[in-house]
Amino acid sequence: MKGLLLKDFYLSWRYCRAFLVIVAVFLAVSFVGEDNVFFMIYPIMIASVIPMTLLSYDEHDKWTSYSGTLPYTRTQLVSSKYLVGLCFGTVAFLVSMAATTVRMLTGEGFVLEQFAMVGTALVALGCIGPAVILPYVFKYGAEKGRIAFYITIGLFTAVATVLAGMGFQVLVIGSGLWPLAVVAGVSILLYALSWWLSIRFYQRRDL
């Protein structure tokens, strides 16, 4: 398992280094103006793409076929992608939350409810996107999964925009922080369920 994780981290460094520049640019832009929250959550979107990007390179390099000759189970092959996604997602979450804190402290001041809402959005976005797409990728392949991923991100953004327009933020502030805890908890459970489904699908897939 350690070898699989090292392989994926090496591939990430080789093929995904440009993501670091993109993240830095978007974080810098988030400090300009008042309504640039999207740029603050962009790092978690980048992190959620990395497992799928690695799967694309694995298929292109015929790793999915070659790995069958190695002493790794399909459960381990799937788990390595989810663990890598979890690692990068955690780093992106911490960076975005740190940037959010700095932005709030240098602006109108720290507001716990707004801070919690940003954190919940990051957790949901970091979990729900991969949770929906990765089982599809492990069952049918990376290319179809990439298309489904962008559709999912578009739908998630549209729903979030509609909820914001309907006063969801006011509802959360008036009801306390428990709705945010529920959203975050459900997102994490979906990620765990997706992990299990991906293992089942990949075990049955004919490579």
- pLDDT tens digits for 68-86? 777 878 888 899 999 998 9
Q: In which band, very low, low, confident or very high, does the pLDDT at 61 lie, cut at 50, 70 and 90?
A: confident
Q: In which band, very low, low, confident or very high, does the pLDDT at 196 lie, cut at 50, 70 and 90?
A: very high
Handedness of CA 117, 43, 4, 58 (dihedral sign): positive
pLDDT at 143 over 70: yes
Q: In which band, very low, low, confident or very high, does the pLDDT at 186 lie, cut at 50, 70 and 90?
A: confident
pLDDT tens profile 90-124: 888 888 888 878 777 776 777 777 778 778 888 88
User: Number of folded domains in the chain?
Assistant: 1
Q: What pLDDT does residue 52 have?
A: 84
Q: What pLDDT does residue 154 have?
A: 72
Place of tokens 């925009």: 161
Let me know: does 160 contact 99? Beta carbons within 8 Å.
Answer: no
pLDDT tens profile 4-57: 888 888 888 887 777 777 777 777 766 665 555 666 677 888 888 888 888 888
- Judge residue 34's burial from the number of C-beta atoms within 10 Å of its C-beta, 0-12 exposed, 13-18 middle, 19 or more buried: exposed
Range of the domain at 163: 2-204
Question: Which residues 6+ apart lie within 8 Å of 57 measured at CB?
Answer: 11, 15, 63
